Chain A
Amino acid sequence: MNKHLLSAGDLSRNDALLVLDTAAQLAQVADRPVKKLPTLRGRTVVNLFFEDSTRTRISFEAAAKRLSADVINFSAKGSSVSKGESLKDTALTLEAMGADAVVVRHGSSGAPHRLANSGWIGGSVINAGDGTHEHPTQALLDAFTLREKLAGGEGDLAGKKVTIVGDVLHSRVARSNVLLLSTLGADVTLVAPPTLLPVGVETWPCKVSYDLDPVVPDSDAVMMLRVQLERMTDSYFPTAREYSRRYGLDNHRMSMLREESIVMHPGPMNRGMEITADVADSRRSVIVEQVANGVSVRMAVLYLLLGGYSPAQAEAEQTVEGS
Chain B
Amino acid sequence: MSRLVISGASILNRAPADIVVAGDRIVEVGKPGSADTSGARVIDADGLIALPGFVDLHTHLREPGREDAETVETGTRAAALGGFTCVHAMANTEPVADTAGVVEQVWRLGKEAGWCEVRPVGAVTVGLSGTHMAELGAMAASAAQVRLFSDDGKCVDDAVIMRRALEYVKAFDGAIAQHAQEPRLTEGAQMNEGVLSGTLGLRGWPAVAEEAIIARDVLLTQHVNSRLHVCHVSTAGSVELIRWAKSKGINVTAEVTPHHLLLTDELARSYDPHFKVNPPLRTTEDVLALREGLADGTIDAVATDHAPHPSEDKECEWSAAAFGMLGLETALSVVIESMVNTGLLDWAGVADRMSVRPAAIGRVKDQGGLLEPGQPAHVTLVDESVSWTVRPEELASRSRNTPYRERVLPGRVVHTIFNGKPTVIDGRTERVH
Q: Which residues from chain A sit less than 8 Å from chain B, CB to CB?
A: 82-88, 106, 108-111, 113-114, 117-118, 130-134, 172, 175, 198-201, 203-204
Contact = CB atoms under 8 A, between A and B. Distances in A.
B204 A130 contact: no
B196 A111 contact: no
Contacts of B198: 198-201, 204
B313 A84 contact: yes
Interface size band for B: 20 to 34
B317 A110 contact: yes
Which has the most chain B C-beta neighbours within 10 Å: A88, A108, A110? A110
21 contacts: A84-B312, A84-B316, A84-B320, A85-B312, A87-B316, A87-B317, A106-B317, A108-B318, A108-B319, A108-B320, A109-B200, A109-B318, A111-B317, A111-B318, A131-B319, A132-B201, A132-B202, A199-B204, A200-B197, A200-B199, A201-B198
A204 B198 CA distance: 10
Given A109-B201, A117-B270, A118-B315, 5 more contacts: A85-B312, A108-B319, A113-B271, A198-B198, A200-B197
Which has the most chain A C-beta neighbours within 10 Å: B196, B198, B312? B198
A160 B427 CA distance: 64
Contact of B271 (A83, A114, A172, A200): A114
Given A111-B317, A114-B318, A198 B271 contact: no
B32 interface: no
Interface in B161-210: 190, 193-204, 206
B332 to A, nearest CB: 31
A199 B198 CA distance: 6
Contacts of A132: 201-203
B197 A198 contact: yes
Contacts of B316: 83-88, 114
Contacts of B190: 109
Contact of B201 (A85, A86, A133): A133
Contacts of A117: 270-272
A221 B194 CA distance: 29
Interface string B31-61: 0000000000000000000000000000000
B392 to A, nearest CB: 15
Interface of B: 190, 193-204, 206, 270-272, 312-313, 315-320
Nearest to A120: B315
A98 B138 CA distance: 61
Contacts of A200: 194-199
A86 B315 CA distance: 10
A199 B207 CA distance: 12
A201 B202 CA distance: 14
B362 to A, nearest CB: 35
B237 to A, nearest CB: 15
B201 A134 contact: yes
Contacts of B319: 108-110, 131
Nearest to A203: B195
A133 B200 contact: yes
A198 B193 CA distance: 9
Which has the most chain B C-beta neighbours within 10 Å: A85, A87, A88, A109? A109
B318 A110 contact: yes
A83 B206 CA distance: 25
Nearest to A9: B199
B201 A131 contact: yes
Contacts of A109: 190, 200-202, 271, 318-319
Nearest to B271: A110
A114 B270 CA distance: 8
Contact of A199 (B197, B201, B313): B197
A82 B194 CA distance: 26
Contacts of A83: 316, 320
A110 B320 CA distance: 11
A133 B197 CA distance: 9
Contacts of A134: 201
B199 A82 contact: no
Contacts of A198: 197-198, 204
B186 to A, nearest CB: 14
Contacts of B313: 84
B406 to A, nearest CB: 14
A200 B316 CA distance: 27
A212 B194 CA distance: 25
B271 to A, nearest CB: 3
Give the top 7 A-B pairs by smallest Cβ distance, nearest first.
A133-B201, A110-B271, A198-B198, A200-B195, A109-B201, A132-B201, A108-B317
A200 B193 CA distance: 9
A155 B270 CA distance: 33
Contacts of B196: 200
Contacts of A106: 317
A132 B201 CA distance: 5
A175 B199 contact: yes
A130 B320 contact: no
